[in-house]
Amino acid sequence: MSNREPISRREFVGATTALMAGLGLARTTHAAKPNSVFDGVRIGATTYSYRGYATSAEDTLKALLGSNLSECELKAEPIQAFTGIGAKDPTDAQREQQLAKCRELRRMYNDAGVTIHLHKLGFGSSNEQIEFSFLVAQALGCVGITMERNEAMAKKLAPFAAKHKIWVGMHNHTGNCPALDKTDPILEAGEYIGFNFDVGHYVAGTKGLSPIPVIEKYHDRMVSLHIKDRTADGKNLAFGQGTTPLPEILQLMRKEKWTFPCDIELEYAVPKDSDPVKEVARSVQYCKDALA
């Protein structure tokens, strides 16, 4: 995964028109695109973090911008809402229209300064459906697709992943973490099968072991990390309040110059006086401070 370079900060001029009191003059404001790459470490978010808060592609983009993020793993709901994907048995013409909408979605996000590095739309069961999911990834500009860990599906997806040179990142929960005492067998399925490694789930699932040895062992097969702060007894807490070694993970990423993204996944209860956008933004700031 080391061939992916961190995105650099870019600035753009956004023109907004408003009537100035009594003058009828246009006013232009200047804004900068977000940049959540800190000292070479790419911080993004899985848009699952905004579940129940932002469902459309437009509102999800606003949430990402409000959290000061320049990249994301985009979940199915905003993709489906924008493109119409999910309709039963679409025709070839409808599929082409859906892919065109995916390219439009990509432009909308890119123009705002946000890269969609992964999607989690799902694959379906037929070869045609699987092929289409990879075409969606291409249209969105993704380097990979994430899914829940499944060895049978890894074998089925591997030829498609190799054909398109698009990664499939297998996501772990607490009971199916990557093997550390041997080479994880799921990787034998194909060269573009890797991990969407959830470091918080690893801590909870192993009763407190550090995920760092797993990252070191499989860094060349890491599609992305899901970063959250959990404890050995399974609590989900705000960044800095649990026992997941997040600063050490981020600092290791910087030291080794690994460029796979670290996506924040908000799973702790949002305080009543806050919202997911603010909580993700706090997590972004925590990562930035850890790399200062």
Mean pLDDT of 40-49: 98
What tens digit of pLDDT does each residue of 166-223 get?
999 999 999 999 999 999 999 999 999 999 999 999 999 999 999 999 999 999 999 9
Average pLDDT, the chain: 90
d(CA 181, CA 172): 17
Burial of 202 (C-beta count, 10 Å sphere; 0-12/13-18/19+): buried
pLDDT at residue number 86 = 87
What tens digit of pLDDT does each residue of 93-104 get?
999 999 999 999
Q: Count Cβ neighbours within 10 Å for each residue of 218-233 and write b for 16 or more, e otherwise.
A: bbebbbbbbbbbbbee
Q: Please list the helix, strand and coil fractions of the chain in percent, rounded to the nearest 5, in that order.
A: 40, 20, 40
Tokens of 152: 């049978």
Max intra-chain CA distance, the chain: 74
Query: What is the number of residues in the chain?
Result: 292
pLDDT at residue number 32 = 85
User: Per mean pLDDT, which of 8-12, 72-76, 88-92 is the most reliable?
Assistant: 72-76
Mean pLDDT of 30-56: 94
What tens digit of pLDDT does each residue of 10-39 get?
332 333 333 223 323 233 334 689 999 999
Partners of 292 in the beta sheet? none
pLDDT at residue number 223 = 98
pLDDT at residue number 87 = 67
Q: Classify 279 as helix, strand or coil.
A: helix
Question: Which domains does the chain show, CATH number per domain?
Answer: 34-290 (3.20.20.150)
pLDDT at residue number 236 = 98
Q: Classify 91 as helix, strand or coil.
A: coil
- Which one is predicted more confidently, 152 or 17? 152
Task: Give the predicted TM-score (pTM) of the model.
Answer: 0.89
d(CA 232, CA 243): 7
Confidence check: pLDDT of 143 > 80? yes
